Amino acid sequence: VLTSDDPETGAKNMFTIITLASSNSLVIWALCGRYVLGHEAMRRMGTANVLIAGMRGLGVEIAKNVILSGVKSVTVQDEGLAEWMDFSSQFFLLASHLGQNRALSSLSQLSALNPHVHVNAHTGPLKETLLQQFQVVVLTDSSLDDQQRFGTFCHSNGIKLIVADTKGLCGQLFCDFGEEFEVLDADGETPASAMIDHITKADPGVVTCFEQRHGFVDGSTVSLSEVCGMTKLNSYGPVDIKVLGPDSFSICDTSSFSEYEKGGVATEVKKSKILQFKPLDEALVDPELLVMTDYGKMTKHQTLHLAFQALHGFVKRVGRLPLPRSQSDAELLVAMVTELNKVSQLDQLDEGVVQSLSFTACGDLAPVNAFIGGLAAQEVMKACTGKFTPLQQWLYFDALECLPEDNGGEGEQLTESTCSPRGSRYDGQTAVFGSGFQERLGEQKYFLVGAGAIGCELLKNFALIGLGAGEGGHITVTDMDSIERSNLNRQFLFRSQDIGVREKQKSEVAAQAVRVMNPNMNITAHQNHLDPDSEQVYGHTFFMGLDGVAAALDNVEARVYLDGRCVQHQRPMLEGGTLGSKGHSLVVVPHLTESYGPAKTGSQNAIPLCTLKNFPHRIEHTLQWARDQFEGLYKQAAEHVNLYFRDSAGFLERTLGRGEAEALEVLECVWGGVGGQRPQGWEDCVGWARRQWETLYNNDIAQLLHCFPSDQLTSSGLPFWSGAKRCPHPLTFDPSNTTHMDYVVAAANLYGQIYGIVGTRDCSAIRSILERVHIPAFTPKSTVKIHLTDKEMEEERESGNLDTGRLDELQKKLSSPPVNSAALQMHPIDFEKDDDNNFHIDYIVAASNLRAENYDIPTADRHKSKLIAGRIIPAIATTTAAVAGLMCVELYKLVQGHRKISSYRSGYINLAVQYCVLSEPLGPQRFTVSDRSAHTPTGMELTVFTCLIRGVVSIQVRQGVTVHPHTTAPPCLELCLHNPGDLQCIKAPKCEARE
Non-local (6+) Cβ contacts of 810 within 8 A are 664, 667, 668, 670, 671
**CA-to-CA distance for 42 and 36, rounded, in angstroms?**
9
Secondary structure (DSSP) of 356-369: HHHHHTT---HHHH
**CA-to-CA distance for 691 and 701, rounded, in angstroms?**
14
**CA-to-CA distance for 646 and 655, rounded, in angstroms?**
14
- Is-catalytic flag, 610? yes
Beta bridge partners of 720: none
Query: For the chain, how long is the longest CA-to-CA vector?
Result: 96
Task: Kindly report the number of other CB atoms within 10 A of residue 841's CB atom.
Answer: 22
CA distances to 17, 28, 114, 503, 866 from 24, in Å: 9, 8, 11, 21, 20
**CA-to-CA distance for 801 and 755, rounded, in angstroms?**
34
**CA-to-CA distance for 979 and 580, rounded, in angstroms?**
37
**CA-to-CA distance for 102 and 265, rounded, in angstroms?**
57
Orientation of helix 790-799 relative to helix 660-674, angle to 10°: 80
Secondary structure (DSSP) of 80-134: -B--GGGGGT-TT--GGGTTSBHHHHHHHHHHHH-TTSEEEEE-S---HHHHTT-
Task: Kindly report the number of other CB atoms within 10 A of residue 780's CB atom.
Answer: 12
Rounded to 10 degrees, the C-alpha dihedral 549/552/554/557 comes to: 10
The DSSP bridge pattern shows strands 906-910 and 915-919 to be antiparallel
Q: What phi and psi values does residue 596 have, to the nearest 5 degrees?
A: -60, -40
Catalytically annotated residue among 610, 707, 972, 976: 610
Residue from 395, 365, 393, 404 nearest 294 by CA: 395
- Cβ 495 vs Cβ 544: under 8 Å: no
Secondary structure (DSSP) of 924-974: PEEEEETTEEEEE-TT-EEEEEEETTTTEEEEEEEETTEEEEEEEE-TT--
Catalytic residues: 610
